[in-house]
């Protein structure tokens, strides 16, 4: 069964007899990289030469995550999935914005004896996908935009989105009827102490983030604890946040200079179900309605 669709014409992609490339009925070809991943981000869909995180940012993120600071959250994600997915089925799971596959690998370890998982990961950063494919050869990783997912309609049972951008139309399209969406977003006090270095008036995140159009919330969990990363890990953590661009050199030096800094981590886990026959309104249609 094919699971990819052509990013140029949206027809199914099939692996060719050589096993070295995929092609669609319109003869668009996409080579399998030596690491095992597939690049389905055509040049006309790129907004820069190398979209996504740089090698330096990926190395910083890798060091922070592999130090285990987000391990409690990752375990909670796996437990929520296991609790709501039947153990007898082959779970088709897409890790959206997967990076180097940290959460994908954790899920595979946690669920390997309980639920067979067909694991897919997608990210716009080619360096990240190459690293993920090297570390987890039994998963299927793709370079692509989360707003143009290169998968056939209604293929996945569950989509995992950890601090990643998404498109409600695409989520509805690739998920099966009644498929699940597990989203991890910042809790009210997430990284509060880091934000105090940057903002004069630090504001809390909302406790219940907005649901994607076409979904209904079925479970929530809030995970809170504290971490004490070393100076280099603090800067790596900062680079993983959307407010990093506001941290000038002086701010970064202040964050790094402290001998010790305890930081709150606060996560919202939201499990939602796709409404059957859901037809979310496109952004263009919404604009017409508003006007």
Convert the pLDDT of each residue in 20-52 to its tens digit: 999 999 999 999 999 999 999 987 555 555 655
CA–CA–CA angle 46, 50, 56 (5° rounding): 150
Convert the pLDDT of each residue in 114-162 to its tens digit: 778 999 999 999 999 999 999 999 999 999 999 999 999 999 999 999 9
With CA atoms as reference, report the closest residue to 148 among 178, 169, 129: 169
Please provide the CATH number assigned to the domain covering 33-276. Answer: 3.40.50.150
Tokens at 158, concatenated: 């569950």
CA 201/CA 101 separation, integer angstroms:
35
Tokens at 220, concatenated: 């929530």
- Using an 8 Å Cβ cutoff, are 122 and 97 in contact? yes
Dihedral through CA 101, CA 109, CA 134, CA 14, nearest 10?
A: -80
Convert the pLDDT of each residue in 93-108 to its tens digit: 999 999 999 999 999 8
Burial of 234 (0-12, 13-18, 19+ CB in 10 A): buried
pTM, entire model: 0.90
Tell me which DSSP letter residue 5 carries.
B
Residue 288's pLDDT is 40
Tell me which DSSP letter residue 75 carries.
H
Question: Which residues, listed in sequence order, are joined to residue 156 by a DSSP beta bridge?
Answer: 175
Q: Count of alpha carbons within 13 Å of 119, Cβ hemisphere only?
A: 24
């Amino acid at each position: 069964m094919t699971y990819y669709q052509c990013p140029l014409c949206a027809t199914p992609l099939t692996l060719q007899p050589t096993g070295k490339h995929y092609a669609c009925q319109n003869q668009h070809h996409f080579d399998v990289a030596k690491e095992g991943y597939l690049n389905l981000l055509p040049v006309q869909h790129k907004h820069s030469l190398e979209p996504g995180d740089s090698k330096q940012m990926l190395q910083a993120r890798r060091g922070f995550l592999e130090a285990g600071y987000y391990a409690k959250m990752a375990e909670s994600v796996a437990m929520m999935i296991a609790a709501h997915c039947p153990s007898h089925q082959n779970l088709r799971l897409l890790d959206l914005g997967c990076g180097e596959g940290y959460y994908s690998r954790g899920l595979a370890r946690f669920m390997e004896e309980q639920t067979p998982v067909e694991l897919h990961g997608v990210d716009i950063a080619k360096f990240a996908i190459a690293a993920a494919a090297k570390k987890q050869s039994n998963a299927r990783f793709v370079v692509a935009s989360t707003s143009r997912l290169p998968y056939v309609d209604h293929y996945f049972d569950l989509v995992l989105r950890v601090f990643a951008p998404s498109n409600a139309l695409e989520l509805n399209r690739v998920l099966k009827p009644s498929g699940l969406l597990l989203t991890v977003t910042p809790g009210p006090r997430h990284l509060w102490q880091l934000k105090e270095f940057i903002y004069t008036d630090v504001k809390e995140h909302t406790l219940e983030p907005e649901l994607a159009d076409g979904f209904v919330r079925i479970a929530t969990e809030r995970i809170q604890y504290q971490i004490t990363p070393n100076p280099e890990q603090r800067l790596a953590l900062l680079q993983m946040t959307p407010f990093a661009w506001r941290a000038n050199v002086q701010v970064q030096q202040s964050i790094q200079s402290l001998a010790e800094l305890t930081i709150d981590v606060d996560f919202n886990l939201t499990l939602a179900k796709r409404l059957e026959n859901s037809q979310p309104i496109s952004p263009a249609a919404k604009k017409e309605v508003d006007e």
